[in-house]
A and B are shown apart, each in its own frame.
Chain A
Amino acid sequence: MKRSTILFSLALTFASAGAAQAATLDDIKARGSILCGVSGGLAGFAQPDDKGNWNGIDVDFCRALAAAIFNDPTKVKFLPLTAKDRFTALQSREVDLLSRNTTWTSSRDTQLGFNFAGVIYYDAQGFMVRKSAKVSSALELSNTTVCTQSGTTTQLNLADYFRSNNMKYEAVVFNTADEVIKAYESGRCDVFTTDVSQIYAERLKLAKPDEHMILPELISKEPLGPLVRHGDDQWFDIVKWTLFAMLNAEEYDISQKTLEQRLKSDRPDVKRLLGIEGNYGEQFGLTNDWIVRIIRHVGNYGEIYDRNVGEGSRLKIDRGLNKLWNKGGIQYAPPVR
């Protein structure tokens, strides 16, 4: 009797696991929260504070999604993932999306079975060395030992760069960002390399940040953005347009401060964006005021940039390429129509 019940329920569990290919949005609504894969602890991008609250631009992006879906930015569960584990976690449905300073590359977009929703941060790979080493260019790094993290584009760009410049090097490859920076600090390596934004963040972990400098060469393009699995276009659209919404909001000067006032605007494009006209939100299975929710709870792109990595943060990274297209950068979102 008992045994057969167990058997039957087991069969059910597995059958439903097989059949649970339903829309991600429905899963999220049923679950009551978004599962968001983030970095394990990278200042400015995703880092828990002493109370366990997550902060960072990648974190805020997932909060924006929660605001859009649930009108509640706290309905996100953050899963810290190492560079090495992140893709299997997404493939195996452990998370609904990765918002984890991940570079958009062709193989990840195709072979690994993912779709990138856009670029939240245009980055590039750089090198950090000790000032005492007295080098001023990456081309002087021949015969060095370089610390880096496993399973990153960093590891591959590094090999490309040294190889194409005919420089000898030794790469010591670790699993987590903490291990990499510790090994660099201990003197195991002469050079620390990763995306420049992350060098800024990791440099803060060093005992004496001032004794280290970032070399001028940028050796790669690192467009970082959120990504989802192949096979669910609705969810892909939601993630993609949430990012666009935050960029468009900045472009139309809709921020946490100006929201109430902009809601009274009679410009048709602003009205469409804020769901006063048209059915922009319902097109994705959300409500029409979804962008209002995002701005109210989280803010526009400029705000989350500034708060987490820009002037309002410890990192103070210049916006550079990440300025809007009409302000001298390349951040550009398609129009709402």
Chain B
Amino acid sequence: MNGSMKMSRREFLKGGAIAGGSLIIGMYLPLSHFSAALATPETSFSPNAFIRIDTDETVTIIVTKSEMGQGVYTSLPMIIAEELECDWKSIRVESAPVAPVFNSPVFGAQLTGGSTSIRTEWERLAKAGAIGREMLIAAAARTWNVVPETCHAENGRVINSNGKSLSYGDLVKTAATMTPPRDAPVKSPDAYKLIGKPAHRLDGLAKANGSAQFGLDVNLPGMLTAVISRSPVFGGKIISFNSTKAKAVPGVTDVVQITSGVAVIATGFWEALKGREALEISWSEGEWADLNTPALVKEYATLSATQGLIARKDGDPGKEIEKAAKRLNAEYQLPYLAHATLEPNNCVVDLKAESCDVWIGTQYQTECRNTAARISGVKPETINIHTTFLGGGFGRRATPLPHLVDALEVAKAVKLPIKLVLTREDDMQAGYYRPQWYDRLSAGLDESGNLIAWRHTIVGQSIATGTPFEAMMIKDGVDRSSVEGAQDIPYSIPNILVDLHSPKKGVPVFFWRSVGHSHTAFVVESFLDEAARAAGKDPFEFRRALLADKPRHRGVLELAAQKAGWGTPLAAGRGRGIAVHESFGSFVAQVAEVSVASSGEVRVHRVICAVDCGRIVNPDIIRAQMESGIVFGLSAALHGKITLKAGRVEQSNYQNYPVIRMDEMPEIEVHIVPSTENPGGCGEPGVPPIAPAVVNAICAATGARIRSLPIQPESILSEIKK
């Protein structure tokens, strides 16, 4: 995903293999041709698909991106409001329907992911706002019979130089009769009133009073709830089942077999669950019934000793390591991880003979509509995807949507509106994990401790194989998301080899917040720390020297170090660790301050984070996303693992897949580097540096080098003993 964002702006506009043609046309088309995607009532004016202004002064912004906590229902409207010159308090947000105009220019589909929202939407939303503003000014000028140049827009009104003014609501009727201009000038940054300053979240009230509607909250008249009994092993098939007892449970209305298993349908969730408990099913478990995590780790370890497909080769690292003054070897491993969004996956389907309405907290609307058309047989034009709020996304809700398939199949069978619910256990065991990884590295240092050669072999499943992203992400057999952050290691090292094995396993894997970077940053930044220590150099200075031609990496590295007081004495028992990583067009460095108890228990006290994400819209949302990414990454570093035994996922709920809670929360400080560079992403780049920063801090505090996640107190203790 990240790779695709590395296109230059020219390639981006040209479209290439990555971006589908239609969206690029979208980028070229004047916004006036973005006709409103929804029928608009007579009391409103829509200059384009993104804006609707009503006579009651309400300005509705139609947001194509899914709100999953990252703040797009605030930051994207800010971009429009800045140009539209409307009253910020008059803004309302609506989720976009599925239409080509709402496609992401990067994915060629309506999809929220890859930390792309601000990056791909800024320009066209600014234009959309500017065109709306110019039309309102023209409408006022016509009303007053003056030239538009004598008018300007401000805070929801058009004002004439003679002092007269009209509100946007007053201008709706006239503006609606006018032809949108092909283009309109956007502001220069020094004229910004909203952009660059903190604004409160527009969804803050709805989320504080419980009125925000998520998928699980949708309720339709006559709706029934379905839960599915799925194979305990990935890919297993039903041999037979007996539904007599399940059907006898009060509230259960139906039991039907669908492709993924057996659906129990009832008047409510609890009744459906009771019914499922009474089901008797025998399964044929299939080819993955013997998957066991320890064996898988071993298999990957063996594979890592052989060379895979080459992702990058500079010089001859094999030879250079051989003759280096000092050699380092290490093996790293990371487990499968679940997203564990706090709202488990669900959706509501209302399937009629000639139409289909779907309410779903999705990151991937286009695929929802395609899936609904495929399963229901209803024409795509009559399918409405209603994007609700998402109770967490992290990539989980961009997955190929098996629960939507389930819901559609059930709705087809029972011919009533259906709410399909995954229990927490279903959600955690149904798959779509961050892949398990095994990495083998070696490096060579010369007599003065300079890093002269680097070898990195990566083993893990490809997340793109067999998905709609395959053509976009896999080049010459190398899934770029498997090597991102490793193949483009920023340090200047003359000899580099990065290669990849992508074994095929039945475990469903997919995007997990920060994708390949959650893995590669840990490995690269840990091993680089090992190299610094082996060279007898300060880990911060060692990095700094190797980043001489990477000013943005250096910028965040230095800022984080300075704010953290790098080099100053710490309380006894504490250690500091540093890591820096680029992902999704942004640069983040973090310094973690930790201590290790005599039990081996790790406590992260403080995290100092510096981020350079280019030009910014809302600094407070950036801070919030860094905080969020750090906590997410810390949960993985300290606790997260999905393991398999006899093909079964061993974790089921938050008691055995723990996440950070209030009592483990470190103090986090975020510093934003002022920048005029193109905007970078924010939802994901906060995640990658935290695990290596913590592990490097543990090493600083105790001398123990942790090479396997999650960090186990026992391994710290046994490393200390060595």
A and B physically associate: no
